[in-house]
């Protein structure tokens, strides 16, 4: 019996091995390991795929968030609204720039920010919103962007988990997540829908001035070599990673479709388990299922996780502790409202295996073990 994995990176590599090996060998032969032609080509092709004017590559998504905030030229003490139910990088990037992360609750049906909670966090010091498109599902961006326009706020999308997700606006237009706000930040961590073989990230924008500023900050503050006009940093996507991503980008829609089909199978297999809530796909978007995250009722999450581990079924908890309870952000953040939904999600969420190589037989095994637990 084959072992189950949360994400089968080796299986995916083997499915496109010849293409990957050829692309990497070409970089090794040319030895342009930094800023090689593959890096520029990947950025151009990702911009075409996403439907935006500019893609600026960088070292990772945390860098992308920090560089994006820096490019907006906010002032010390300015507030940025984020969900309390997200990975620490969202708050980290804000706090590193002496801005204030304002933590608000989320919609438990989507795990995401919505207008109600953004309004709860809004103050005279609010300058920006970072909607996090968690687990592969886009926030309701129409209402967020409308509120932002009304109050002259910047919008940076944390698109780390949702590259390739499609959002349908109320006017019927369809756009990729990460291209709706001023800047969209992507992660190419290996387990993401579009993942490299190390670390990487990018920023997407339709604003020419912002694109130039993002590139300048990521390149030591220089536009011309050895002419440093502003304080910047060194954040680059190396050529080997770009070559890998260039290959994988050609397969991204197929990868997402495989995940969607796996999610539909889970939905069917688990529909009769009353003790869990399966993910809900909202009408405004085409979910890309970076994770398939259950909500386990009646305080049974930890027991289910332990039982599945005994049965050889890996699981993960994203996230076990709300951001407001993380020691690092005590004294540098503001909690805008009670975070009941976030606290309940942290106590109940459980992600089960989700990847492009997941077979119906493997999913049946996982489903059977979940059923077995609740029948005991």
Q: What is the pLDDT of residue 376?
A: 86
CATH number of 252-375: 3.90.1150.10
Over the stretch 17-75, which tens digit does the pLDDT of each residue have? 999 999 999 999 999 999 999 999 999 999 999 999 999 999 999 999 999 999 999 99
Instruction: Report the SS3 class of residue 339.
Output: coil
Query: Rounded to two decimals, what is the model's pTM?
Result: 0.97
Over the stretch 209-219, which tens digit does the pLDDT of each residue have? 999 999 999 99
- Can you name the residues that pair with 222 across neighbouring β-strands? 228
Which residues lie below 8 Å from residue 59, measured CB to CB, with a gap of 6+? Answer: 199, 200, 201, 234, 235, 236, 237
Q: What is the pLDDT of residue 288?
A: 98
Q: Is the pLDDT of residue 1 over 70?
A: no
Task: Let me know: does 162 contact 61? Beta carbons within 8 Å.
Answer: no
- Cα(234)–Cα(244) distance, integer angstroms: 21
Which residues lie below 8 Å from residue 193, measured CB to CB, with a gap of 6+? Answer: 136, 161, 162, 163, 164, 252, 255, 256, 259, 288, 290
Over the stretch 242-274, which tens digit does the pLDDT of each residue have? 999 999 999 999 999 999 999 999 999 999 999
Does the fold of domain 252-375 match that of domain 9-246? no
Mean pLDDT of 144-151: 98
Q: What is the pLDDT of residue 2?
A: 80
Task: Let me know: does 114 contact 342? Beta carbons within 8 Å.
Answer: no
CATH number of 9-246: 3.40.640.10
For the chain, the domains span 9-246, 252-375
Burial class (CB in 10 A: 0-12, 13-18, 19+), 226: exposed
- Cα(356)–Cα(371) distance, integer angstroms: 24
What backbone phi and psi angles, to 5 degrees, belong to 214? -60, -45
Q: What is the pLDDT of residue 29?
A: 98
Mean pLDDT of 357-370: 98
- Cα(41)–Cα(9) distance, integer angstroms: 24
Over the stretch 323-342, which tens digit does the pLDDT of each residue have? 999 999 999 999 999 999 99
78-to-103, 327, 329, 330, 334 alpha-carbon distances in Å? 14, 21, 16, 17, 11
% pLDDT > 90, the chain: 99
**For 136, which DSSP code?**
G
% pLDDT > 70, the chain: 100
């Amino acid at each position: 019996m084959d072992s189950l994995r949360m994400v089968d990176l080796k299986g995916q590599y083997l499915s496109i091995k010849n293409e990957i090996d050829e692309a990497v060998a070409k970089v090794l032969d040319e030895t342009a390991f930094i800023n090689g032609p593959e890096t520029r080509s990947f950025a151009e092709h990702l911009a075409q795929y996403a439907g935006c004017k500019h893609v600026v590559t960088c070292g990772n998504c945390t860098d992308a968030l920090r560089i994006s905030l820096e490019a907006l030229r906010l002032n010390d003490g300015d507030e940025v609204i984020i969900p309390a139910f997200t990975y620490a990088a969202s708050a980290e990037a804000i706090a590193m720039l002496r801005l204030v992360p304002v933590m608000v609750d989320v919609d438990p049906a989507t795990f995401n920010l919505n207008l109600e909670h953004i309004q709860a966090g809004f103050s005279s010091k609010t300058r920006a919103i970072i909607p996090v498109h968690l687990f592969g599902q886009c926030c309701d961006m129409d209402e967020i962007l409308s509120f932002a326009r009304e109050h002259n706020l910047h919008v940076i999308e944390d698109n780390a988990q949702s590259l390739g997700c499609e959002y349908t606006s109320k006017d019927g237009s369809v756009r990729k997540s990460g291209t709706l706000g001023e800047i969209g930040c992507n992660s190419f961590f290996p387990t993401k829908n579009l993942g490299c073989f190390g670390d990487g990230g990018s920023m997407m924008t339709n604003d020419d001035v912002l694109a130039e500023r993002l590139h300048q900050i990521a390149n030591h503050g220089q536009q011309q070599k050895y002419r440093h006009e502003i304080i910047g940093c060194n954040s680059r996507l190396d050529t080997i990673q770009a070559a890998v991503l260039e290959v994988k980008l050609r397969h991204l829609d197929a990868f997402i479709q495989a995940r969607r089909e796996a999610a539909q199978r889970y939905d069917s297999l688990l529909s009769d388990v009353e003790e869990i809530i399966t993910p809900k796909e909202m009408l405004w978007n085409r979910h890309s299922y970076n994770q398939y995250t259950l909500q386990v009722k009646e305080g049974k999450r930890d027991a289910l996780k332990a039982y599945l581990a005994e049965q050889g079924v890996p699981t993960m908890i994203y996230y076990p502790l709300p951001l407001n309870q993380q020691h690092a952000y005590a004294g540098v953040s503001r909690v805008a409202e009670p975070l009941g939904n976030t606290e309940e999600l942290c106590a109940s969420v459980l992600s089960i295996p989700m990847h492009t190589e997941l077979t119906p037989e493997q999913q049946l095994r996982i489903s059977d073990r979940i059923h077995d637990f609740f029948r005991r």
